[in-house]
Structure 1
Amino acid sequence: MASSPQLLHQILAEISSAHNSKCKATAGPFKGGSNIVYAIQSDRGKRWCLRIPLDADAAWLAARGARLLRRLKEQQPALQVPAIIYTSERYTILEYLAGAPLGSWNTQLLTRERRRVLLDHLASFLFSLWTSDINTE
């Protein structure tokens, strides 16, 4: 299941066909714990995030996570998490949210005030997430 140039090409061809617009990877691959992630863009300028699971276990987790994320966005549309655009057994397409990958913050030197603001926002986000009444099964 791990991403390969051929798999990426096949997926981009599928997405291009579905949207009647040529799509290409504009950033990535970024390797996460369970997925390979790419920023993709259509020739019309529409941007998405493409996640390809690394293996069958990651695909199972991705499918479960997509269901939860979909329910969460339905209940709290203003929550700053990407909307699920499309899911399949091989990949997930998410709304593109501008910004840097979370891992990039690990190398940043932050002022005490900037760190406080970021942690306050993170705490607020996590509180919203944890207090959402969504079925986890």
Structure 2
Amino acid sequence: MPSHEFEEPACEDTCILPRLLQNGANPDPSGFQVTPLQIAVHARDLAGVNALLEAGADPNNTGDAQGVYWDPKTSVLGPYTKLRGLAPLYILRHLKAYPWCESGMLGEDIDLMNGETTTAIERLLLNYGAFNISVENK
């Protein structure tokens, strides 16, 4: 889950994602309709996007259509089900941010489409080979 402040591009010692990746967590797991990178991009989590890409996440992965589904009404990850089938670059360019707040609850959709964080994430995705901006979500 995204756990970084929008304005803070660098992970602090308390960030769990880098530690998980250092301990062998797969940055691009199969079997889920939504990927960690899709979630990090949607949350405009620059540090998370960077950590996942550096660890080998596919910048064009749209998730596994037959994978685990999170019910929007019963799962804390439910709001992210709308990302299934969408490329990270598409998410960045066409969806409003949905940040993970410090309280642990999902924040409201906010418009960060032209911010420095969005520009930095787009640059990262493109540098790692993102090209897929198609919509496969049904």
TM-score, structure 2 normalization: 0.26
Q: Greater strand percent: which structure? A: 1
In our comparison, the structure showing a higher alpha carbon Rg is 1
Q: Greater helix percent: which structure? A: 1
TM-score, structure 1 normalization: 0.26
